[in-house]
Structure 1
Amino acid sequence: MKLSRQTTLRSQATVTGVGVHSGLPVSLTIGPAPVDAGYIFIRTGLEGADREVHATADAVIATEFATVLGDREGPLVSTAEHVLATLRGMGIDNATIEIDGPEVPIMDGSAAAFVAAVDQAGIVTQSAARRFIQVLKPVQVAIGDCVGEFRPFAGGFRAEVEIDFANPLIGRQSYCFDLSAESFRREISRARTFGCMNDVARLWSAGFALGASFENSVVFDETRLLNAEGLRFRDECVRHKVLDVVGDLALAGLPILGAYRSVRGGHKLNHAALTALLSDRSAWRVVESETARRSRNVAEVGSSTVGGLIAPAYGPDVS
């Protein structure tokens, strides 16, 4: 096993689409960034100069329907979770994400298009050792009957996600996921966002789901799945929740060595749990890859290869 070093993209790659909530066209370009830069969103198309925001937990300004990043002047980029999940899931430490609209394009509702963009751009190894946030003790938060908990785990990063929807076609699902570039690509990246038709009026009245369609969301009514092509996985809904977890926790700024358990959670819970962890300096430490490898022989996280409007389940942070 090679010593784990930081990675970035070899070149740029661009995707275009519409925002699922805004319905507006948008172009997004991922590209290289220097050592220790992390993930930097560059918002273009604004009056005056471009604005930058580092994708960290303290840049989150809203979580009700999506993860929204901003600064003192207001929101800059919404629905950041799928592209962030791709960068973290594919083992990329440093990247720029240039975007010319207020929302990351939804594409087909999954991270598949962003994985393809990463493949197009390529991944290169950088000179510095990869650093991790290692969880040292359990940290738990609860919002009503939703629970998020970090705990130590001697095996990289693990997500244990459970959802429980009143809709009988979704119901209760659970998934345990150990993160690697290969497992992210195979098990999680193609899982699409999902929702129920009876949520349409509520989301529209809140100004959301304006760009949602059967081409970018899995849709259920009370008795059937409405997408003609069916599900990509039997448990696609909970797999998509895992995708959101990977993206929301990428806002830690470094890869996490530990396990995260989510019960009936969403963006709000993920952010609250991450904030609670980072706020407790006795609950974690930063380790470099050599230290992590000695303490656990941790596996390499990265890879050198690498219709009609409906309502997606971005809204109320309860599953």
Structure 2
Amino acid sequence: MKQRTIAKSVEIVGIGLHKGVPVKMKLEPLEEDAGIIFYRVDAGITIPLCIENVVDTKMATVIGKDGIVISTIEHLLSAVYAYGIDNLRVVIDNDEVPVLDGSSSGYCMLIEEAGIKELNKSKKAIKVKKEVEITTEDGKRVTLKPSNRIIYDFQIAFDHPSIGEQNFHFDYSINEYKENISRARTFGFLHEVQYLRSIGLAQGGSMENAIVLDQSKVLNPEGLRFDDEFVRHKILDAIGDMALLGYTMVGEYDAVAGSHHLNHLLTKELYKDASNYEIIDLEEASEEAEVFELAYSKVEV
């Protein structure tokens, strides 16, 4: 199996969730072994996608360098990661990736518009060899476990009649991602949105790009896309956050009330000990390569 990039450059214009300002973003193909690179064209700063460049994880995953940041990268990265894109340049003229409709389905369409190009060098993946885990005193947990497949399990519980307890199991393929994960939107509570706006955040948030709830119900007139849309979006976010590993992960991600912050700590924990993981060449690792071939073969892009 070979590394992937996009076949041609594509552009999109949208608004940022937190600043609410227009953002122009362009995705460009890159050569083998280049990785995922962000470029702030307005500041002339290149920010490679890596754990070391994460500067904030409170409300979103934010990378930065020399005081220049790019925020809310997780939805774009979720789609890029799901489509197996190894090399890509993201050119952006502001400090936040466009939120689109609050899901990653728009980015899936953008990638399919660009097409996927296979490169000459073999694709590499990171295989989890030992279980690593981050836990908190209030019962939150994120875990990576060894597996020959790519699995995401997530559990949430909210004291809200529209959410309650939700679980979702995602066995990776592009087709399953498009149908069951990419369309799930980010969500927030009305009182939280009001507070965030008071401190200069969520300025671009609306019912056009998020599920908004009051104390008893979903306020969006169209309702939910899935009964369990909330936990599906948590998996969407987690897939984007795992892109910070720099390789597609072979293993099982399992979370109870996980977050961007815990996901960041988990990626750091995995890399703390070289015995926790193995970088595998998918030209040589036939069993793992078969998993990817099956996952990628179900959709033509």
TM-score (norm 1): 0.90
Deviation per residue, 1:250-279 (Å, 9 max, x gap): 010001110011110110011111110111
Deviation per residue, 1:39-80 (Å, 9 max, x gap): 10011112xxx1111111111000000000001x12420000
Tell me the equivalent position of 2:266: 273
Tell me the equivalent position of 1:167: 160
Shift of 1:298: 2.5
Tell me the equivalent position of 2:26: 29
Provide closer, same or farther for how the CA distance between residues 163 and 290 of structure 1 changes in structure 2, counting only shifts above 3 A: same
Provide closer, same or farther for how the CA distance between residues 176 and 88 of structure 1 changes in structure 2, counting only shifts above 3 A: same
Question: In 2, distance between residues paired with 1:208 and 1:292?
Answer: 45
Secondary structure of residue in 1 paired with 2:285 = helix
Tell me the equivalent position of 1:68: 62
Question: In 1, distance between residues paired with 2:146 and 2:163?
Answer: 30
Question: In 2, distance between residues paired with 1:175 and 1:292?
Answer: 29
Shift of 1:295: 6.2
Deviation per residue, 1:134-184 (Å, 9 max, x gap): 1001001113321011110122x1111111112221111111112221111
Tell me the equivalent position of 1:251: 244
The code of the aligned residue for 1:27 comes to K
Tell me the equivalent position of 1:310: none
2:300 to 281, 305, 310: 305
Secondary structure of residue in 2 paired with 1:160 = strand
The answer on whether the counterparts of 1:15 and 1:114 sit within 8 Å (CA) in structure 2 is: no
Deviation per residue, 1:62-114 (Å, 9 max, x gap): 0000000001x124200000111111111211111111110001010011111
Query: What do you get for the CA RMSD once the two structures are aligned?
Result: 1.4
Question: In 1, distance between residues paired with 2:203 and 2:292?
Answer: 42
- With 159-168 and 24-33 compared, the bigger mean Cα shift is at 159-168
Provide closer, same or farther for how the CA distance between residues 106 and 295 of structure 1 changes in structure 2, counting only shifts above 3 A: closer
The answer on whether the counterparts of 2:45 and 2:68 sit within 8 Å (CA) in structure 1 is: no
For 1:1-319, list aligned pairs within 5 A: 4-46=1-43, 50-71=44-65, 73-144=66-137, 145-155=139-149, 157-294=150-287, 297-300=290-293, 301-302=295-296, 305-306=300-301
Structure 1: which 4+ aligned runs deviate by more than 6 Å? none
Question: In 2, distance between residues paired with 1:161 and 1:295?
Answer: 23
Secondary structure of residue in 1 paired with 2:166 = strand
Provide closer, same or farther for how the CA distance between residues 126 and 151 of structure 1 changes in structure 2, counting only shifts above 3 A: same
Shift of 1:296: 7.6
Question: In 1, distance between residues paired with 2:268 and 2:159?
Answer: 29
The code of the aligned residue for 1:74 comes to G
Secondary structure of residue in 1 paired with 2:159 = coil
Tell me the equivalent position of 1:316: none
- With 178-187 and 196-205 compared, the bigger mean Cα shift is at 196-205
The answer on whether the counterparts of 2:282 and 2:289 sit within 8 Å (CA) in structure 1 is: no
Shift of 1:222: 1.6
Question: In 2, distance between residues paired with 1:174 and 1:92?
Answer: 28
Secondary structure of residue in 2 paired with 1:101 = coil
The answer on whether the counterparts of 1:5 and 1:130 sit within 8 Å (CA) in structure 2 is: yes
TM-score (norm 2): 0.95
The answer on whether the counterparts of 1:57 and 1:251 sit within 8 Å (CA) in structure 2 is: yes
The code of the aligned residue for 1:281 comes to A
The code of the aligned residue for 2:250 comes to L
The answer on whether the counterparts of 1:90 and 1:184 sit within 8 Å (CA) in structure 2 is: no
The answer on whether the counterparts of 1:6 and 1:35 sit within 8 Å (CA) in structure 2 is: yes
Aligned residues: 298
Shift of 1:223: 1.6
Question: In 2, distance between residues paired with 1:110 and 1:214?
Answer: 12
The code of the aligned residue for 2:300 comes to T
Gaps of 5+ in 1: 307-319
